[in-house]
C-alpha cells in the first residue's frame, strides 16, 4: 500500500512538472531576489493561486480561450499540446507561479520570455466576418483576450470551489491586472464589473468550430495516468459546471452529471481537490521559496510595498 501511495504521489507531481523527478530548479530559484515581489502572503493572488482551485481554473481558461479563432489558430498552428501536454502545462504553471511568488525582476523576466516566444507565433485565420486576418500571439487584442479569459476562469473557479478572497473578488481582478501589464495588456480590468464589460466586447468574435470541438474533446480525455483519470473527470465536470452559461452554450456543453445517479459536481470536485492537496502537500515549493526569500529580506505582512513597471502598488 505504501508503494502504491508513493507511486500515486509521484505521478501526481509529475503531471504538474512535466514528469520531473525532483522539484524543478526554477521553483527553488524563487528564493532568490531583492524584493518581496508584486504580491504579499495576504494578497488575493496568493489566496487564489496558492489554493487547489487553479487545477480546475486551468481547464476552464483553456475552454474559454479556445472560443476566439485567433487564439485557437495560434494553438492549432504552433502548439504540440496533443503530443506533449504536460510540457505546455508545466510552462504555464512556471509563468503563473513566477509572477505570483517571484521577486519583481523574476516576474518581469518570465513575462518577457513568453513575449519573445510569442513573436514566432504568427499566421492567418478567418474571422466571423469572413475576412482573412493576420495574427501574432503578441497582438494586443489576443493578449487581452487571453488575460481576460484567465482572470475570469480563475476567479469563477475559486468562488465556487475555494475559500475567501482577501478584499473580495475585485481585489483578485486588480491583483492580476499586474500580470496583464507585464504581458503588455493596456488598461486591464481592475474590477469584476470591468472584467465582464471587456469580455462582452469580444462576443461577436467568438465561435465554436471543428478546431474548438477537437480541443474540447482532448480536454475531456487527456492522456493522464490511470490513477488520475477518475479524479480528472470530476474536475473537468466542475470546470464546465462553473463556466459562464454563455461560454458553455457556445462550446455546446451541458451542465454535467456524474454517473447514473446525479452527484453534486461542486461537492465532488472539492473532495477531489482535497485529495490532490494531500498528494501535493500543504504548501507548494514556489510558495515555500517565496516565504524563505521574504524572511531573508526581513519582510512580513506589514512590510511596505513595491510597484512593478506598469503594475499597481502592492504590499511586497
* CA neighbor of 28 nearest in space, from 212, 293, 263, 241: 293
Q: Rounded to whole angstroms, what are the CA distances from 151 to 44, 45, 171, 246, 295? A: 12, 11, 12, 16, 29
Containing domain of residue 103, as a range?
A: 2-315
Domains: count for the chain: 1
* pLDDT of amino acid 311: 39
CA 306 – CA 311 distance, rounded (Å) = 9
Residue 279: is it exposed, middle or buried by C-beta count within 10 angstroms (0-12/13-18/19+)?
A: middle
* pLDDT of amino acid 283: 81
Judge contact between 226 and 11, C-beta under 8 A: no
* pLDDT of amino acid 312: 45
* pLDDT of amino acid 280: 73
* Residue bearing cell 487545477: 55
* pLDDT of amino acid 310: 34
Alpha helices by DSSP H, listed for the chain, are 2-15, 25-29, 44-49, 54-65, 69-78, 85-101, 104-118, 140-161, 169-182, 192-200, 210-220, 226-241, 245-251, 265-280, 285-297
pTM exceeding the 0.85 threshold for the entire prediction: yes
Per-residue pLDDT of the chain (316 residues; tens, 9 = 90+): 446 556 655 656 666 555 666 788 999 999 999 999 999 999 999 999 999 999 999 999 999 999 999 999 999 888 776 666 667 778 899 999 999 999 999 999 999 999 999 999 999 999 999 999 999 999 999 999 999 999 999 999 999 999 999 999 999 999 999 999 999 999 999 999 999 999 999 999 999 999 999 999 999 999 888 888 899 999 999 999 999 999 999 999 998 766 544 458 999 999 999 988 877 777 889 999 999 999 999 996 544 344 333 334 333 3
Judge contact between 151 and 176, C-beta under 8 A: yes
* pLDDT of amino acid 17: 57
Amino acid at each position: 500500500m505504501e508503494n502504491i501511495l508513493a507511486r500515486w504521489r509521484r505521478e501526481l507531481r509529475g503531471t504538474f512538472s512535466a514528469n520531473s523527478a525532483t522539484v524543478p530548479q526554477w521553483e527553488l530559484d524563487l528564493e532568490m531576489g531583492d524584493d518581496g515581489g508584486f504580491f504579499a502572503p495576504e494578497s488575493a493572488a496568493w489566496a487564489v493561486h496558492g489554493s487547489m482551485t487553479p487545477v480546475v481554473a486551468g481547464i476552464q481558461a483553456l475552454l474559454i480561450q479556445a472560443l476566439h479563432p485567433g487564439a485557437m489558430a495560434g494553438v492549432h498552428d504552433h502548439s504540440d499540446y496533443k503530443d506533449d501536454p504536460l510540457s505546455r502545462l508545466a510552462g504555464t504553471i512556471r509563468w503563473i507561479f513566477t509572477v505570483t511568488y517571484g521577486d519583481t525582476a523574476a516576474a518581469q523576466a518570465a513575462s518577457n520570455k513568453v513575449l519573445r516566444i510569442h513573436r514566432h507565433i504568427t499566421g492567418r485565420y478567418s474571422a466571423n466576418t469572413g475576412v482573412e486576418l493576420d495574427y501574432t500571439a503578441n497582438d494586443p487584442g489576443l493578449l487581452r483576450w487571453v488575460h481576460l479569459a484567465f482572470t475570469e476562469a480563475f476567479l469563477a473557479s475559486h468562488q465556487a470551489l475555494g475559500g475567501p478572497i482577501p478584499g473580495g473578488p475585485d481585489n483578485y481582478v486588480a491583483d492580476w491586472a499586474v500580470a496583464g501589464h507585464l504581458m503588455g495588456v493596456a488598461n486591464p480590468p481592475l474590477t469584476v464589473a470591468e472584467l465582464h464589460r471587456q469580455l462582452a466586447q469580444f462576443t461577436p468574435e467568438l465561435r465554436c468550430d471543428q478546431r474548438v470541438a477537437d480541443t474540447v474533446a482532448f480536454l475531456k480525455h487527456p492522456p493522464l495516468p490511470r490513477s488520475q483519470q477518475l479524479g480528472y473527470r470530476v474536475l473537468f465536470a466542475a470546470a464546465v459546471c462553473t463556466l459562464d452559461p454563455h461560454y458553455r452554450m457556445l462550446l455546446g456543453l451541458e451542465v454535467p452529471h456524474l454517473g447514473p445517479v446525479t452527484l453534486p459536481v461542486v461537492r465532488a470536485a472539492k473532495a477531489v481537490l482535497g485529495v490532490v492537496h494531500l498528494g501535493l502537500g500543504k504548501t507548494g515549493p514556489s510558495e515555500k521559496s517565496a516565504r524563505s526569500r521574504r524572511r531573508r529580506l526581513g519582510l512580513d505582512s506589514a512590510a511596505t510595498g513595491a510597484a512593478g513597471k506598469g503594475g499597481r502598488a502592492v504590499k511586497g
